[in-house]
Amino acid sequence: MPYFREEEARAIIQDTYGHVRSDRAAVAEAFYAPEELARLPRGAAELALGVGHPVGHAALQPGEVVLDLGCGAGIDTLLAAFAVGPGGRVIGLDMTPEMAERTQQHAAAADLANVEVREGLIEEIPLSDASVDVVLSNGVLNLSTRKSRALAETMRVLRPGGRVSLSDLILTEALPEDVLKSPAALAG
C-alpha cells in the first residue's frame, strides 16, 4: 500500500537530494576503484549515493549511446563517458534540478564533451524510441512510485539488442509501518 502520493514522493525526494551535502567520498570508495575516482572531480565522488557499480558491469564499448537514469551528481555518467569515448554519448537524466546541474558542472570540470544532461522523470524519459544502446541506473528505481512504468520507458528508449545495467536496493521483508510512512526513509 503506498503511503505517499506520487507528487508527494517526488517532492520529498527532490528536496532531500537537492539539499544533500557531503565532504567525504565514503560511498564512492566502497564501490569504485581508486584509479576511477582519481579521474573524477571531487564533487562527483563526494556526492555518490548509489549502491553498486553499474558501469563496471555494463561492458560499455566506444561509440555507444548511454542513458544514466537518475544521474545524481554524475559519477556513473562521467565514468560511462570515459568508457564510450568521444565517439559515444552519455545522457544523464535527473528530476532534481540541483543534481542535473552538478552533473553538468562535473562533466565540464572533467573536460567531457560527450555528456548531455537532461532534467526529467525516469517514468517519462525525454528521449525518442530506440535511441539508446545501454541504460544505467544506480539506486534510483527503488525511489520510483511507478517502477513498472520506469522499466517500460527504459525498454522503449533502448534499441533492439540494447542492454540495461542496474544496481539497486531490494527489501526482502515488509518494513514496519512507521518506517514506510517516514519521508526520510522514502528518500533513502
Subset of 144-163 contacting other proteins (CB under 8 A): 147-148, 151-152, 154-155, 158-163
Give the closest residue to 42 by CA, choosing from 26, 18, 25, 29: 25
From the CB of 111, what's the least distance to other proteins, in Å?
27
| C-beta closer to other proteins: residue 70 or 112 | 70
Subset of 36-95 contacting other proteins (CB under 8 A): 47, 49, 51-54, 57-58
From the CB of 23, what's the least distance to other proteins, in Å?
9
72: left (phi over 0), alpha (psi -120 to 50) or beta: left
| C-beta closer to other proteins: residue 76 or 112 | 76
Subset of 12-41 contacting other proteins (CB under 8 A): 16-17, 20-22, 26-27, 30
Rounded CA separation 159/24 (Å): 38
Give me the sign of the Cα torsion angle 35, 40, 41, 46: negative
Cell numbers found for residue 51: 549502491
Residue 187 burial (10 A CB sphere; 0-12, 13-18, 19+): middle
Stated length of the chain: 188
Residue type, 110: A
| C-beta closer to other proteins: residue 86 or 188 | 188
Q: Is 111 in the site for other proteins (CB under 8 A)?
A: no
Cell numbers found for residue 69: 537514469
| C-beta closer to other proteins: residue 71 or 141 | 141
Q: Is 116 in the site for other proteins (CB under 8 A)?
A: no
Rounded CA separation 49/72 (Å): 8
Return residues touching other proteins (CB under 8 A).
16-17, 20-22, 26-27, 30, 47, 49, 51-54, 57-58, 133, 141, 147-148, 151-152, 154-155, 158-173, 175-176, 178-179, 182, 184-185, 187-188
